[in-house]
Amino acid sequence: MKNKVIIITGGSSGIGKACAEHFGKAGSKIVITGRNQENLDKEVKALQKAGIDALGVNADVSIENDNIKVITETINKFGKIDVLINNAGISMRALFEDLDVSVIRKVMDINFYGTVYATKYALPYIIKSKGSIVGISSIAGYRGLPGRTGYSASKFAMQGFMESLRTELLKKEVHVLVACPGFTASNIRNTALSKDGKTQGESPRDEEKMMSPEEVAEAIYIAVKKRKRDLVLTMQGKMTVFLNKWFPSFMDRMVYNHMAKEKDSPLK
């Protein structure tokens, strides 16, 4: 990956930050995006201090023109794009019957349309470099999670989009990877939206028992190098995907019972 130009949306925290550091240490040139200028500047400085050629672009992936800006600034600085990692994302937790539908719209705008916009404007350059497009999805993109209807819908949509795109690009030698971490220790649950769109603020799960962002980043790096099609992480994640395919009714009950054990779960 030496001298490859990598764009990572939502690259100032969590999995995106870990990917920026991992790819950067391997010699890649890094572009990260984020909505918080302070956090963005802090991470760019940390990358540069580690000897990594890095650029930060203040951008909201849910805004189409912001994605155009990211691509323009990347080309102006580096002249090419080799890998796009669609990482920016947001979660939510509430029962659908209690949920303001604006929450689902916001989640879809960031998780799904953010991927669509970034991919659309990076695509001509990635076709030229025969590079890679990565979608950071979730096990929730294989198995709908109760209390997370909007999040699951956005990840199912992302995976359908990526699969269709992969097939369209088959003859153009563009690599498309769908990466599905299991529960990962990051701030996504802290920033998750509640039923009225307010930030949840506190994770309902034990973050210390989860996979670290650095472990996820290493697995994604290897998958991009090997141009793998799919990446499903953690044994729990692999078992969920397998059992849901062959024993869906059984998994309805298993998933309900598992998610009901979360702290302050909306499930009774």
Spatial neighbors of 72 by CB under 8 A, at least 6 apart, are none
What is the distance between the alpha carbons of residues 27 and 111, in angstroms, rounded to a whole number? 28
Q: Which pLDDT score is estimated for 118?
A: 98
pLDDT at 203 over 60: no
Sorted by where each starts, the structural domains of the chain and their CATH numbers stand as: 5-260 (3.40.50.720)
User: Helix (H, G, I), strand (E, B), or coil: what is residue 187?
Assistant: coil
Q: Which pLDDT score is estimated for 43?
A: 96
Spatial neighbors of 30 by CB under 8 A, at least 6 apart, are 6, 8, 11, 20, 23, 24, 47, 52, 53, 54, 55
Entry pTM: 0.93
pLDDT tens digits, one per residue of 9-31: 999 999 999 999 999 999 999 99
Q: Which pLDDT score is estimated for 266?
A: 87
Q: Which pLDDT score is estimated for 124?
A: 98
Question: Among residues 125, 151, 221, 256, which one is catalytic?
Answer: 151
pLDDT at 207 over 60: no
Cβ atoms of 232 and 180 closer than 8 Å: yes
User: Helix (H, G, I), strand (E, B), or coil: what is residue 219?
Assistant: helix
What number is the average pLDDT over the span 115-135?
98
**Quick check: is 151 catalytic?**
yes
Residue type, 180: C
Identify the burial level of 138 via C-beta atoms within 10 angstroms of its C-beta, where 0-12 means exposed, 13-18 middle and 19 or more buried: buried
Predicted confidence band of residue 192 (pLDDT cuts 50, 70, 90): confident
Q: What whole-number percentage of the chain has pLDDT above 70?
A: 94
Q: Which pLDDT score is estimated for 219?
A: 96
pLDDT tens digits, one per residue of 37-81: 999 999 999 999 999 999 999 999 999 999 999 999 999 999 999
Q: Taking all residues of the chain, what is their mean pLDDT, rounded to a whole number?
A: 93
Q: Which pLDDT score is estimated for 189?
A: 55
Instruction: Specify the range with the lowest mean pLDDT, choosing from 2-16, 71-85, 168-182, 254-268.
Output: 254-268
